[in-house]
Amino acid sequence: MNLDIKLKPTENVLYINDLSLANLFTEVLDVSSEEKMKNPPDDNVRVYVPLDLSYSTLYEELFLIIKRYKGNATFENEGDFCCDIDRWFKRLEIYDRVRFARDRNAIEKEHCDKAVELGRLAVEELVDCDNDGDYFPKNMIEEIKKYFGFKK
């Protein structure tokens, strides 16, 4: 995800052109839909939806997702589970990048401490969500580990 985190001094708003964050449906947009948005029709209306991100909102959202699927993941809802975790991770990534840019106290760090904590928690909870290893987003666990540089 490409973010411009250099906010205007008078603005506390970040604009991100990522359709999946605002997508309330679990269907994944195909490439042709994204291509269409690059050259929108003349009657197109672009709506910017506020997205407030904090440690507590990301924490609560993660546990709502875990609660929904833990012990209940099936073949039928596997796609929804993966999309929910993917959308959550994108939000975590935005939170991490913006908080890190704002709070750059330690040059040797690459991520915001609170985002790292949420990432570790997500990995632990998702591994624990394993319903016989068939219906949970294993690829998202690996993506979170890679993003934060977790070894295990």
Rounded Cα distance, 99 and 83, in Å: 24
Q: Flag whether 37 is in a domain.
A: no
Q: How confident is the model at residue 129 (pLDDT cuts 50, 70, 90)?
A: confident
How many domains in the chain? Answer: 1
pLDDT of residue 77: 83
Q: Which structural domain range is residue 71 located in?
A: 53-148
3-class DSSP state of 61 = helix
* 101 found inside a domain: yes
Q: Tell me the per-residue pLDDT of 42-89, one tens digit each, with 9 for 90 and over.
A: 777 766 667 889 999 999 999 999 888 887 777 888 888 888 999 999
User: Looking at residues 2-7, what average pLDDT do you find?
Assistant: 51
List, in order, residues 6 or more apart from 66 with CB less than 8 Å away: 125, 126, 129
Burial, 118: exposed, middle or buried (Cβ in 10 Å; 0-12, 13-18, 19+)?
buried
Give the best-scoring range by mean pLDDT among 21-35, 58-72, 95-109: 58-72
In a domain, 86, yes or no: yes
Residues in CB range of 70: below 8 A, 6 or more apart? 128, 129
Q: Rounded distance, CA 52 to CA 13, Å?
A: 10
